[in-house]
């Protein structure tokens, strides 16, 4: 366990945890005076990528293109998402908490204001605000911010009606990489006939085309890239899987320990943090009778990360070829922690195709007698490998312990901020993306948009951090499926659904191994009261499902 004295905790805790409730968002500290040209903005979001799945964050998976962004930019080691894909995407496109814009849980309608499953029209998206400010706006990839996915249904919450002038991608949240459902061009469904179609590659190709078209114009552009990689299903071409062969023969315990050591060397984790215990549901690798299948699961997952990295490289190369690389603000992050979901055979009703394009039956479910990777399989990589992806943290996607909400964020803007591969442990959140982009574009967030009053932004610009300055901490909140948390500075209050509050010192113990709640009940009470006030203000309800 982490060694923390009660006296040291008490001295630091009292001034920090008894501050007023959420800080009022502060304006950013501005751009360098000499910079006058509005930048292009490229926002890249990975899907279910774990905190340690990039080699620049400690992984054994080779990600040289994303590493290059990190080498030229700034890595945020304490950046946060909302714990689930739809809520995170709603927050990063609006600068508000997801419950404020109707996407507190998913794209299911729970008939409560914070949980309608559609991105609310009472908020303006980053694309809408940038377009009003003169930007060209484009999107490729996963949307997953509407419950309306039928071609004949309403489309007012689709990308082309929420600020994007051009769109190529999927409306639904997940699907086959070889034949994805709800694939659209603008507002029309399309069917791809290419026998070599692979969704990650196609996202990069269309991103490159959009960049080429936009860079020829006189106005700056905003490109939002929503990969589905490495979200299940485990799908990758055979040659990509072959590049990962035998990499995971040592098993999950050893791979996780190796990642942890690399993270320590890179400065991603602090020396005083312990590696959180492996999930109690996971047994020893050496006694697992299905090691060949388990190894293959992680090989395919790693191949999906590898292919996404190559796609990012293609996007950056398109910027370079069009002479746009230097004045483009690029941000890369994940929408939540890695997923421990196990796909069951009865998932047939979730948009999974019954047959491949060649007419073979798709075998659905995590079946050890079927090796994943091909179009005729539909599997996930499960709890043990999700623990590896979320090294060194506890739990996974859907939770608000660190394994569910910690995100690798990389920011690069060569013409303005030359970071030289630095890291920062200043705390940020996906609600900070909108104010960061607006400040970079010199666009003021309005009080109204097209006749509707807008809620004040919850996030704050990251530009002061990019300038090497210290940004004052603000209290951050989470709720997902009854899991809830509060983070303020070095302290975090967190609870699982219907579970008790736990208190952790993030400076000494970010891996959440030493619960301090019983030592400081008054602190727990006061901060939990601030959570209750936040929940009331932002449409959060007690979770009943």
The pLDDT of residue 71: 97
Closest CA to 397 of 53, 2, 42: 53
Model confidence at 349: pLDDT above 70: no
pLDDT in tens, 86-115: 999 999 999 999 999 999 999 999 999 999
What's the CA gap between 220 and 42, in Å, rounded?
11
Q: What is the mean pLDDT of residues 222-230?
A: 98
* The CA-based dihedral angle spanning residues 310, 50, 93, 158, taken in that order and rounded to the nearest 10 degrees: 70
**pLDDT recorded at residue 37:** 86
Q: Residue 193: pLDDT above 70?
A: yes
Rounded-to-integer distance, Cα 126 and Cα 218, Å: 20
Confidence of residue 14 (pLDDT cuts 50, 70, 90): very low
Please give the pLDDT value at position 153.
86
* CA-based nearest residue to 247, from 259, 233, 261: 259
Structure confidence at residue 34 (pLDDT): 54
- Nearest by Cα to 75 from 508, 425, 462: 425
**Is 128's pLDDT higher than 90?**
yes
Q: Of the given ranges (8-22, 372-386, 455-469), which has the lowest mean pLDDT?
A: 8-22
- Check whether 84 has a pLDDT greater than 90: yes
Residue 150: what pLDDT? Answer: 87
DSSP per residue over 332-397, as a string? Answer: EEESSSPP-----TTGGGGS--SB-TTSPBPEES--TTS-SBSTTEE---HHHHHHHHTTTSS--T
| pLDDT digit string, tens, across residues 353-380 | 899 999 999 999 999 999 999 999 999 9
Does pLDDT of 24 surpass 50? Answer: no
Question: Out of 3.40.720.10, 3.40.50.300, 3.30.200.20, 3.40.50.2000, which CATH number does the structure's domain 37-95+124-419+426-439 have?
Answer: 3.40.720.10
d(CA 168, CA 158): 11
pLDDT at 423 over 90: yes
Its sign, for the CA torsion 86, 92, 94, 98, is positive
Lowest mean pLDDT among 11-20, 212-221, 473-482: 11-20
Q: Per-residue pLDDT tens for 307-320?
A: 999 999 999 999 99
- Per-residue model confidence as pLDDT tens digits over 263-307: 999 999 999 999 999 999 999 999 999 999 999 999 999 999 999
Separation CA 426–CA 419 (nearest Å): 15
- C-alpha count within 13 angstroms, C-beta hemisphere, residue 289: 2
pLDDT at residue 22 above 50? no
Residue 6 has pLDDT above 80, yes or no: no
35-71 residue pLDDT tens: 678 999 999 999 999 999 999 999 999 999 999 999 9
Choose among 208, 463, 219, 411: nearest CA to 322.
208
Round to whole Å and give the CA distance between 251 and 491: 34
Query: Over 90: is that where the pLDDT of 8 sits?
Result: no
User: What are phi and psi for residue 275, nearest 5 degrees?
Assistant: -75, 120
Q: Where are the domains of the chain?
A: 37-95+124-419+426-439
Q: Quick check: 389 pLDDT over 50?
A: yes
pLDDT at site 346? 84
Q: Which residues 6+ apart lie within 8 Å of 456 measured at CB?
A: 25
Residues 6+ apart with CB under 8 A from 82: 88, 90, 91, 97, 98, 336, 405, 430, 478, 480
Residue 347 confidence (pLDDT): 83
Distance of CA 55 to the CA centre of its chain: 17
Q: What is the mean pLDDT of residues 330-352?
A: 91
Cβ neighbours, 10 Å, residue 478: 27
**Residues 439 and 28: beta-carbon distance below 8 Å:** yes
How high is the pLDDT of residue 322?
A: 97
Residue 453 has pLDDT above 90, yes or no: yes
Quote the percentage of the chain above a pLDDT of 90: 89
| Rg, C-alpha atoms of the chain | 22
Q: pLDDT class for 31, splitting at 50, 70, 90?
A: low
Confidence of residue 9 (pLDDT cuts 50, 70, 90): very low
What is the reported pTM? 0.94
Say yes or no to pLDDT of 5 above 90.
no
Mean pLDDT over residues 254-263, rounded?
98
């Amino acid at each position: 366990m982490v060694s923390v004295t009660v006296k040291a905790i008490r001295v630091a805790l009292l001034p920090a945890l008894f501050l007023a409730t959420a800080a009022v968002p502060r304006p950013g500290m501005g751009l360098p005076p000499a910079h006058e040209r509005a930048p292009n903005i490229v926002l890249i979001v990975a899907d279910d990528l774990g905190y340690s799945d990039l080699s620049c964050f400690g992984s054994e998976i080779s990600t040289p293109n994303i590493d290059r962004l990190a080498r030229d930019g700034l890595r945020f080691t304490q950046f946060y998402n909302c714990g689930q894909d739809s809520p995170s995407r709603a927050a990063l496109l609006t600068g508000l908490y997801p419950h404020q814009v109707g996407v507190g849980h998913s794209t299911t309608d729970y008939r409560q204001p914070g949980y309608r499953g559609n991105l609310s029209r009472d908020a303006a998206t980053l694309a809408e605000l940038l377009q009003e400010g003169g930007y060209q706006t484009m999107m490729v990839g996963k949307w997953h911010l509407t419950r309306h996915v039928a071609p004949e249904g309403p489309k007012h919450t689709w990308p082309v009606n929420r600020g994007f002038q051009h769109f190529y991608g999927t409306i639904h949240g997940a699907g086959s990489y070889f034949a994805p459902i709800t694939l659209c061009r603008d507002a029309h469904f399309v069917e791809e006939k290419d026998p070599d179609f692979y969704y990650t590659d196609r996202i990069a190709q269309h991103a490159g085309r959009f960049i080429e078209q936009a860079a020829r114009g006189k106005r700056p552009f905003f490109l939002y890239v929503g990969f589905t990689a490495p979200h299940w299903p485990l799908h990758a071409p055979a040659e990509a899987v072959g590049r990962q062969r035998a990499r995971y023969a040592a098993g999950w315990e050893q791979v996780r320990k190796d990642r942890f050591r690399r993270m320590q060397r890179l400065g991603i984790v602090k020396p005083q943090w312990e590696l959180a215990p492996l999930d109690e549901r996971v047994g020893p690798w050496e006694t697992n009778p299905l090691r060949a299948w388990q190894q293959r699961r992680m090989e395919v997952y790693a191949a999906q990360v590898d292919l996404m990295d190559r796609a990012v490289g293609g996007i950056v190369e398109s910027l370079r070829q069009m002479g746009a690389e230097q004045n483009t603000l690029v941000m890369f992050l994940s929408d939540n922690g890695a997923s421990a979901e196990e796909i069951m055979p009865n998932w047939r009703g979730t948009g999974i195709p019954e047959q491949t394009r060649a007419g073979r039956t798709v075998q659905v479910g995590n079946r050890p007698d079927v090796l994943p990777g091909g179009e005729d399989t539909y599997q996930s990589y499960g709890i043990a490998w999700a623990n590896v992806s979320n090294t060194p943290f506890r739990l996974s996607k859907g939770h608000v312990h660190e394994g569910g909400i910690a995100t690798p964020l990389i920011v690069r803007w060569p013409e303005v901020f030359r970071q030289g591969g630095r890291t920062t442990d200043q705390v940020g959140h996906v609600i900070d993306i909108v104010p960061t982009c607006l400040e970079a574009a010199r666009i003021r967030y309005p009080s109204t948009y097209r006749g509707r009053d807008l809620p004040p932004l919850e996030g704050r610009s990251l530009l002061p951090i990019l300038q090497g300055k210290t940004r004052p901490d603000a209290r951050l909140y989470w709720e997902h499926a009854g899991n809830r948390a509060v983070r303020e500075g070095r302290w975090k209050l967190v609870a699982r659904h219907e579970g008790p509050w736990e208190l952790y010192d993030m400076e000494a113990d970010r891996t959440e191994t030493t619960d301090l709640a019983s030592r400081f009940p008054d602190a727990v009470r006061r901060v939990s009261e601030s959570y209750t006030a936040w929940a009331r203000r932002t449409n959060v309800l007690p979770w009943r499902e």
